Amino acid sequence: MLDRLFRWFLPLLLLTLQVQWVHAQQDRALRIVAIGAHPDDADIRFGGTAALFAQMGHHVKFVSITNGDAGHYDEGGGMLAARRMAEAREAGRRLGIDEYVVLDNHDAELMPNLHIRHQLIREIRKWDADVVLSHRPNDYHPDHRYAGTLVMDAAFLVIVPNVTPDTPALESNPLFLYYQDRFTNPSPFRPDIAVDISETFDTKIEGLAAHESQFFEWLAWLDGRLDEVPEGETERIEWLKGVRAQPVNGAVRESLGRWYGEEHAARVNHAEAFEIAEYGYQPSPEDIRRLFPMLNRKP
Ligand SMILES: [Zn+2]
């Protein structure tokens, strides 16, 4: 009797448990961390996709490496940093994400040093991230460049237990992705993944509009459009939609075609695209569909 139990029942039970465990891993909510140099960068590059992840029950955290205390023509320092932190929290709430962390490093002074590398390793580990996004290390803004460098410096070290041992190391490397940008030297951005954000474009714009000091003041001033910014809330949002609608370029549309099919891709008006970094987990197309489950839906 006991012999039969060991020969048949136990192996079967173990197999069933293993199958259930594998399914639980596949069904587990995904954990995404989007890192930017300033409070608004993750929103600009990833806001629509973040809102999709959130709507689908996945966990998204935004991290701004600097506190944004240089991002204005008329305000600055601690007062501006406090204002921007409140704006970031409100943006996170509007996008439906779990958390918006603003690290207290000075804006326009970001350097790729060990202290900040360790801050980022801890943020990625604490989030138990499956996917990490940031800037490419080629960009007009030195803070964006160094943010990209810092995140890539963390890409391997997040699994090394002797680095920042106060925060347990991850068991495996997350997928590291770059946000889309327009820079071509030394190489143009490659849209490996493209997400149709038509469904969440309005939510994304509402999220951006929470950064009042930026989209209705500082960036409008930089663009010489401060006079254009309307007074009323609804009018401002409509204005921002026009300013921020980014035409889908040929390379991104091709990528949309690979993920959604040509017919669907031809209709997409708003998209966000990402390039796979070479230093983290290297995914197969099936892995990408598991990590970006919205690619399997056709809204
Ligand atoms: Zn920025």
In whole angstroms, what is the distance from residue 66 CA to residue 146 CA? 11
Distance 165 CA to ligand 1 centre (A): 30
**pLDDT value, residue 28:** 87
Q: How far apart are CA 213 and CA 219, in angstroms?
A: 8
- Tens of pLDDT, residue by residue over 240-278, are 999 999 899 999 999 999 999 999 999 999 999 999 999
The alpha carbon of 130 and the centre of ligand 1 are apart by a number of angstroms equal to 24
Q: Is residue 6's pLDDT more than 70?
A: no
Measured CA to CA, the distance from residue 143 to residue 103 in angstroms comes to: 13
CA of 68 to the centre of ligand 1 (A): 9
Looking at the predicted structure, is the pLDDT value of residue 23 above 70?
no
Tokens at 136, concatenated: 């490419």
pLDDT score for 60: 98
Q: May I ask the CATH architecture of the domain 30-294?
A: 3-Layer(aba) Sandwich (3.40)
Res. 136: pLDDT tops 80: yes
- Ordered by start, the domain boundaries in the chain are 30-294
Q: How far apart are CA 88 and CA 135, in angstroms?
A: 18
Return d(Cα 196, Cα 260) in angstroms, integer: 9
CA–CA distances in Å: residue 83 to residues 77, 118, 209, 232: 10, 26, 14, 20
pLDDT digits (tens, 9 = 90+) for 177-202: 999 999 999 999 999 999 999 999 99
pTM (predicted TM-score): 0.91
pLDDT score for 25? 56
Q: How far is the CA of 41 from the centre of ligand 1 (A)?
A: 5
Which of 120, 155, 97, 118 shows the shortest CA–CA distance to 37? Answer: 120
pLDDT tens digit sequence for 197-227:
999 999 999 999 999 999 999 999 999 999 9
